Chain A
Amino acid sequence: MLSLIVFLPIIAGLVILVVPASQKQIIRIVSLVAALAQGVLAVLIWRQYDPTMAGIVAAPGGSPVGSFQLIERIPWITLDLGSFGPLTIEYFLGVDGLSITMVLLTALISIIGILSSWPIQKQVKGYFILFNLLSTAMMGCFVALDFFLFYVFWELMLLPMYFLIGIWGGPNREYAAIKFFLYTLFGSVFMLLVMIGLYFSVVDPLTGHHTFSLVAMADQANYVKGTILGPGSEQWRYIAFAVLFVGFAIKVPMFPFHTWLPDAHVEAPTPISVILAGVLLKLGTYGMMRINFPLFPEVFQAGMYVIGVFGAINIIYGAFCALAQQDLKKMVAYSSISHMGYVLLGLAAGNSEGMLGALYQMFNHGTITAMLFLLVGVIYDRAHSRQIDKFGGLASYMPVYAGVVTIAWFASLGLPGLSGFISEAFVFVGAFREPITRPIAMVSVLGIVFGAAYLLWSLQRMFLGKRKPDALYELEVDSHGHEHIHFHDWKGKLDLDARELTMLVPLAIIIIALGIYPMPVMGLLTTSINKLVQVLAPVAISAVH
């Protein structure tokens, strides 16, 4: 089942491979069908998933696959390394509370992405093949439970992303693509080192051999004493944690490593921005929750404060940078830096509320930011510009668009009743609960105000007031005295058309529904999160009360 959902897009890609490049419509429809099927599978998985099973780590003495679900585990690569014993790399898939939401999100965003790539005219065939490759890689990352497999998918993601930005991107695309590629590669190289180190430090209790299985790695009992990352070599464990953390933080992106994001977003075509912000950024924090923290819990305990500080920096700094942007898309990009900061903060809290808020924030940020980028794309299609000051008064002329934008913007600034609020709220609840991160939380609450500031300001400059004198559209008054506008060389419907609505309305519904009653998603997480917290902080738990 998981294999199916992972490799469905690849199959679609192969089908597209045989479709002649001239048959653009067929290519699009094939991809769309694949994405929809993926969505159906995701829903089936969601239905099958039993939220009472924790996952995260194998119960001591229990089954080697722990309480993971929909397990698929077969030996993939097996070589005999002589003195090192057999090298076994498994094809090991499974879901738990951490993955399931991300799987749902990925399926959803893939559908949205395919829909929003409909207008792409340049090398449609190659585009959709790469796109399908990308969505396979993302899905694979989220369900892989073998570190090596995870790494393979992780690297597999870079290539299509690189080309999708570098070929279908904006004027400065090569620079952005290279930057993205090198940055992420930089991170993943270190990941590789740590991965190998872990391999030689962990022994699967059943087979007695070294293993890449994350489930085994997550259990500190499986670390061999005296090995490089085993107990007894703390300094190496600290280094490994830091290195791994940097690797994931680049994807998040965390403050010093974030500069690839605005460039990539500004250059990337709309669907790619949607994918990038909707799913790829989550991989960073997902990796932290799945790999980085559970494998080095004691280092995490020591590093909470630092992570929290970086989270706060992301929040405030991203908000301020967004406040200064002229390019709408850049502003949204910085806003997602700021919002990923909430995730980091929640993770830093290390308690259930914080982690839950963080994971839920990952999901919500996926949907909300997807919506934001789609909306940016809408206006960019019409005006061929994203300069905030080049608009004004749009609300009078594009009421539906303005309405949807209002929903998305307010969701992004964390208005109660929209899903973003709940996650941010619980991030703060968690972060404030821990005495360590309490001051950080008190500082980063400012992010709420500045987030509202830049969003409302851009909303006002673009949609409210009157048409700016140098606006990018013509104003004309018809015989009834009603004002209309039209953009230069835009033939389509002025307000949102059917395709755009089919993309935006479901997202809006999800955002509102999850804002009012979050349990459908949150209920999937709680057990796993509580388990994760136990794994992370056996000490801290006894400390509280």
Chain B
Amino acid sequence: MMHSLIQLSIAVLLLPLLSFVVLIFFNRRLPRMGDFVGVGLVGTAFACALTIFWQVVVQHYDPAFRVAWEFTWLDFGNVPGVGPLQVKMGIVIDNLTAIMLAMVTLISTLVHLYSTGYMQGDPKYGRFFAYLGIFTFSMIGIVLSDNLFSIYMFWELVGLSSYLLIGFYFYKDSAADAQKKAFLTNRIGDIGMWLGILILYSQFHTFGYREIFENIAAGKFNMSNGWLTAAGILLFMGCVGKSAQFPLHVWLPDAMEGPTPVSALIHAATMVAAGVYFVARIFVLLTPDALHVIAFIGAFTAFMSATIAITQHDIKRVLAYSTVSQLGYMVLGLGVGSYSAALFHLLTHAFFKACLFLGSGAIIHAMHHEQDMRWMGGLYKKMPWTFVTFSIATLALAGLPLTSGFLSKDAILAGALGFAQVEGGGIYYLVPAFGFAAAVMTAFYMGRQVWLVFFGESRTHLKPAEEHGHDAHAAHGHDDHGHEDHGHHEVHEVPWNMRLPLVILATLSVFIVFSPDPLDGGKGWFMHLVQTPATVVASTEAAHEAASLHAPEAGKLLAEAHTDNQHVEAAATHQTEGHGPVYADPRQAEIAHMTHANHFPAIQLSSLMLVIGIGMAFIVYVFRIIDPDKTAHSIRPLYLYSFNKWYWDEIYDATFIKGSMLISKILAWFDANIVDGIVNGIATIFRKFAFANGGFDKYVVDGLVNFTAFTVQTTGAVFRKIQTGKVQTYLLMVVVAVLAYFAFYIAQLIK
């Protein structure tokens, strides 16, 4: 008997799939190409998800809530050396799942709704909803799955749907390139993730999170601890791919080739967040070393993409890089061990970034597929709704107090500070430093964007014609936005079905939704429900070293593992103050404590950063005290470096892509000429031998034959002289013969 929640969650899982199946086959036969099917089914899924959310989060308000259900998917029978072996698939519902479920389905529903307006009139309108359906399905699968195998499957399915949606305008070469790039980059991340899964499986013969964690906690991990760290980092590679972390971040900006609702749903809110979600799922088995790697990668990504975002012109690219940067924040948060803060940021970011993208979509829609901010401006009167919601989301992203973004980002930065202190400063202070720097730049480029887009005069007429025609056409492609006049055209507010999602999402970007205290997310329900789980690796670490070393040294090591005593005591007091659970692992406990201790410094710092950033934006773009173009000129190399995205694409293209193409050419040549050449060579040798043999046969064996023939012929020629064909000659012969007889006769007589 399945738990009712499970049944509901299965419904949530399957309804979008149903929508996909129906739409992919029947979209042309249905009225309105069946968009109502998509919206309706996903809406129903959202309703179910909401029910789950209500039951889990509101009714039993319990951090430890967990419902699980599993079934045997594969039965390997009695495997030699392992015993009975089954691969189970299952669903686990805990607070995080419930929240993610609600978030995903909500945004998906909103995006469906929004698309009915945005994609209006596209020839493949119906198929678009089908793709959205399969995406939602696989995303929910990721959220629900309780084991590494099924999450890997849904992981790749998400990749597929992202591939399909990025390439929705596949007749554009740029889109085709982008979708391929996205899929392949994700694949690279996935093989890392897959190897990580393999490492764990090879030890425990199971894919389930629970079993794996329990086994590790029980010290059943038979390989060296390095392998465990490796497993953690490899699994994290999956997140690097999906969540577009450095060095695999390059695909996300290009993914903006897809329709804007897709960017909002997949490349801002849900899919890219799946990486973070996955790391959170496996958080407990990450060793400190793995966590360090994660923290640094996150921090660097946040910083780097922020710098890039500053100089981009395309409204969606700015948002894309800001997404990468925010994802960097989350990863950083996980890396520094402030688990719940990272997930909190994931949630809040999902809402306001989706809002931003949908807003930009509205702008692009209104501007008739104009995406370049340089040619926008002065839209706030024409599109008030869009303007208001967009600005709220912007402030949330910049992390203004009273917004949701402030709560989560601040929590992460606090965690970063605490982490740096616990790890003993030094290089580790880079992590918070990057974080804060990114915060400054976030505020700056968002201010820049808002100003360029909404304020000032409309600069549409400034746009150079040919470039204009070019990318407008590219963006237009097949869809029947009838008039092609790219001069001054009436920009008007978007219809209600595109406005409503903006409003809802903007509303969800306000602090009160998450926490009563506008300054402390820790007091909110999220932080209460989603608490940092106790890590399972430290114990194995100790066990390993204890096993590998003599007892006293092992004891010393353990003592060192707790860096110094006062932290331990502090951790103890931290428990007594009643923030969060008790941590067996000293390191984790200290970080939790220091995080809490660094709460207010973090607030002050980040607010300061915010002021600096927005202030700079005002100085540069509003009051024009500093002319951006002049500045760009004066620091041209830096500007170019940022504008060209640190040249990552070029570097990868020059190394990996060109390299592998070269290798493939070489190998193909090798195959065609060397390997096959050897084969043909052998064949030729045999043929040559056969020729030689044939020659022997011809000139020696056959020669003898011919020789006899020749002799016969010559003798024949001789005798042919006699064979005159004249009777008389023959008669002569006869006579001669007779005379010979006479001679014989006479000889007889003489005897």
The contact of A541 among B80, B85, B194, B664, by CB within 8 Å, is B80
Q: Does chain A have a CB within 8 A of B545?
A: no
- Residue B77 is within 8 A (CB to CB) of chain A in the complex: yes
The reply to whether B85 and A433 form a contact with Cβ atoms under 8 Å apart is no
Chain B residues with Cβ under 8 A from A438's Cβ? 202
Min Cβ gap A405→B in Å is 13
| Complex Cα–Cα for A448 and B668 (A) | 19
Contact A453 B660 (CB under 8 A): yes
Inter-chain contact B202/A352, CB cutoff 8 Å = no
The verdict on A428 contacting chain B, using a C-beta distance below 8 Å, is yes
> Are B191 and A448 in contact, with the CB atoms below 8 A?
yes
Q: Which of B75, B171, B664 contacts A519 (CB 8 A)?
A: B75
B176 to chain A, nearest CB (A): 4
A58 CA to B124 CA in the complex, in Å?
60
Residues of chain B lying within 8 A (CB to CB) of residue A183? 679
How far does the alpha carbon of A533 sit from the alpha carbon of B82 in the complex, in Å?
A: 12
Determine the chain B residues whose CB is within 8 A of the CB of A432 once the complex forms: 195, 198-199, 201-202
Complex CA gap A541/B83 in Å reads: 11
- CA distance in complex: A417, B190 (Å): 16
Residues in chain A near residue B180, CB distance under 8 A: 456-457, 460
Tell me the complex Cα distance, A28–B712, Å: 59
B179 contacts across to A, CB distance below 8 A: 460, 464
Q: Which residue of B lies closest to A453 (CB)?
A: B184
A24 interface residue, CB < 8 Å from B? no
A527 at the interface (CB under 8 A from B): yes
- B74, CB-defined interface residue at 8 Å: yes
Instruction: Contact check, B170 vs A395: say whether CB atoms are below 8 A apart.
Output: yes
A residues 288-341 near B (Cβ < 8 Å) are 317, 320-321, 323-325
Task: From A101-109, A114-122, A192-200, A439-447, give the one contacting chain B.
Answer: A439-447
**Selected interface stretch from B148-156, B274-282, B298-306, B340-348:** B148-156
Can you name the residue of chain B whose Cβ is closest to the Cβ of A263?
Answer: B676
A259-B675, A259-B679, A320-B667 known; A410-B160 Cβ under 8 A: yes
B167 touches A518 (CB 8 A): no
- A441–B80 touching, CB < 8 Å: no
The yes or no answer to A44 lying at the interface (CB within 8 A) is no
Q: Is the CB–CB distance between A526 and B664 below 8 Å? A: no
Residues on A with C-beta less than 8 A from B154 are 416
Contact partners of B175 in chain A: CB under 8 A: 464
Given A321-B671, A416-B156, answer yes or no on A452-B198 (Cβ-Cβ < 8 Å): no
User: Which residues from 219 to 265 on chain A have a C-beta closer than 8 Å to any C-beta of chain B?
Assistant: 256, 258-260
Contact A522 B74 (CB under 8 A): yes
Interface string of B662-681 (1 = CB under 8 A from A): 01110110010001100100
Is B463 an interface position by the 8 A CB rule?
A: no
Q: What is the distance, in angstroms, from A466's C-beta to the closest C-beta of chain B?
A: 6
A353 sits at the interface (CB 8 A): yes
Assess A429 versus B198: contact at CB under 8 Å? Given A321-B664, A523-B75: yes
Chain A residues near B426 (CB-CB < 8 A) = none
In the complex, whether B188 has a CB less than 8 A from a CB of chain A is yes
Q: A351-B81, A433-B202 are in contact. Are A356 and B76 (CB under 8 A)?
A: yes
A43 at the interface (CB under 8 A from B): no
Distance in angstroms between the alpha carbons of A256 and B202 in the assembled complex: 31
Are A530 and B77 also in contact (CB < 8 A) when A325-B668, A448-B187, A449-B184 are? yes
Q: Tell whether A530 pairs with B80 under 8 Å between CB atoms, given A259-B671, A415-B156, A416-B156.
A: yes
Which of B78, B152, B202 is close to A416, meaning CB atoms less than 8 Å apart? B152
Q: Tell me if A445 and B191 are in contact (CB < 8 A).
A: yes
Count class of interface residues, chain A = 35 or more
B80 close to A446 (CB less than 8 A) = no
* B314 beta carbon closer than 8 Å to chain A: no
- B53-95 residues at the A interface, CB under 8 angstroms: 73-82, 85
Interface of chain B, main secondary structure: helix
**With a CB–CB cut-off of 8 A, which chain A residues contact B73?**
517, 519
In the assembled complex, B157 has its CB within 8 A of some CB on chain A: yes
Closest Cβ of chain B to A412, distance in Å, is 13
Contact at B79–A182, with CB atoms within 8 Å? no
Is B697 engaged at the interface, CB distance under 8 Å to the other chain? no
Chain A residue with Cβ nearest B169: A464
Q: By the criterion of a CB under 8 Å from any partner CB, how many residues of chain B are at the interface?
A: 53
Q: Is B122 an interface residue (CB 8 A)?
A: no
Say yes or no: is A544 at the interface (Cβ < 8 Å to chain B). Answer: yes
- Among residues of B, the one whose C-beta sits closest to the C-beta of A260 is B679
CB-CB under 8 A from B668, the residues of chain A are: 320-321, 323-325
B362 CB → nearest A CB, Å: 28
Complex: how many Å from CA A260 to CA B683? 12
| Residues of B contacting A182 in the complex (Cβ-Cβ under 8 angstroms) | 683
- Asked if residues A441 and B198 are in contact (CB atoms below 8 Å), the reply is yes
Q: Are B153 and A421 in contact (CB under 8 A)?
A: yes
Chain A residues positioned under 8 Å from B183 (CB to CB): 452, 456
Minimal Cβ-Cβ distance residue in A for B89: A517
- Say yes or no: is A545 at the interface (Cβ < 8 Å to chain B): yes
Q: Which of B112-157 contact A (CB under 8 A)?
A: 149, 152-157
Residues of A with C-beta under 8 A to B195: 432, 442, 445
The answer to whether A385 has its CB under 8 Å from any CB of chain B is no
Please give, as numbers and ranges, the residues of chain B lying within 8 Å of A519 by CB-CB distance: 73-75
Give every chain A residue within 8 A of B187 (Cβ-Cβ). Answer: 448-449, 452
Name the distance in Å between B85's Cβ and chain A's nearest Cβ: 7
- Contact flags A515-545 to B (C-beta < 8 A → 1, else 0): 0011100110011001001100100111111
A357 to chain B, nearest CB (A): 11
A465 at the interface (CB under 8 A from B): yes
Complex Cα distance, B230 from A442, in Å, reads: 13
Distance between Cα atoms of A453 and B658 in the complex (Å): 13
Q: Are A544 and B81 in contact (CB under 8 A)?
A: yes
The winner among A441, A453, A544 for most chain B CB atoms within 10 A is A453
A320 and B675 contact, Cβ closer than 8 Å, known pairs A415-B157, A415-B160, A537-B80: no
Interface residues of A in 355-369 (CB under 8 A from B): 356
**Could you say which residues of chain B place their CB within 8 Å of the CB of A452?**
183-184, 187
Are A518 and B74 closer than 8 Å at their CB atoms? yes
**A338 smallest CB distance to B (angstroms):** 12
Q: In the complex the two chains form, is A417's CB within 8 Å of B157's CB?
A: yes
- CB of B683 within 8 A of CB of A320, answer no
CB-nearest residue of chain B to A457:
B180
Task: Judge whether A286 is part of the interface by a CB distance below 8 angstroms.
Answer: no
Residues on A with C-beta less than 8 A from B152 are 416, 425
**A residues near B77, Cβ cutoff 8 Å:** 352, 526-527, 530
Q: Distance in Å from the Cβ of A87 to the closest Cβ of chain B?
A: 33
Question: Per-residue CB proximity of A409-442 to B under 8 Å, as 1/0?
Answer: 0100001110001000100110011000010011
Smallest beta-carbon distance A514→chain B, Å: 12
Q: What are the residues of chain B within 8 A of A88 when measuring CB–CB?
A: none
Residue from B73, B172, B664 whose CB has the most chain A CB atoms within 10 Å = B664
Q: B661 in the interface, Cβ–Cβ < 8 Å?
A: yes
- B177 interface residue (CB < 8 Å to A): yes
B173 interface residue (CB < 8 Å to A): yes
Most buried by A among B73, B80, B201, B665: B80
- Taking CB atoms, residues of chain B closer than 8 Å to A259 are 671, 675-676, 679
Taking the closest CB of chain A, its distance from the CB of B142, in whole angstroms, is 12
- Closest Cβ of chain B to A420, distance in Å, is 12
Distance between Cα atoms of A76 and B463 in the complex (Å): 88
**Chain B residues positioned under 8 Å from A417 (CB to CB):** 153, 157
Query: 5 other contacts beyond A320-B660, A321-B671, A441-B198, with CB at 8 A cut-off?
Result: A324-B664, A395-B170, A442-B195, A464-B170, A542-B81
The 9 closest A-B pairs by CB, nearest first: A416-B153, A324-B668, A544-B81, A464-B176, A323-B664, A526-B77, A432-B198, A259-B676, A324-B664
13 inter-chain pairs at a CB distance below 8 angstroms, sorted by A residue, are A352-B79, A352-B80, A416-B154, A432-B199, A448-B191, A449-B191, A450-B660, A452-B187, A454-B664, A465-B173, A526-B77, A541-B80, A545-B82
Interface residues of A (CB under 8 A from B): 179, 182-183, 256, 258-260, 317, 320-321, 323-325, 351-353, 356, 393, 395-396, 410, 415-417, 421, 425, 428-429, 432-433, 438, 441-442, 445-446, 448-450, 452-454, 456-457, 460, 463-466, 517-519, 522-523, 526-527, 530, 533-534, 537, 540-545
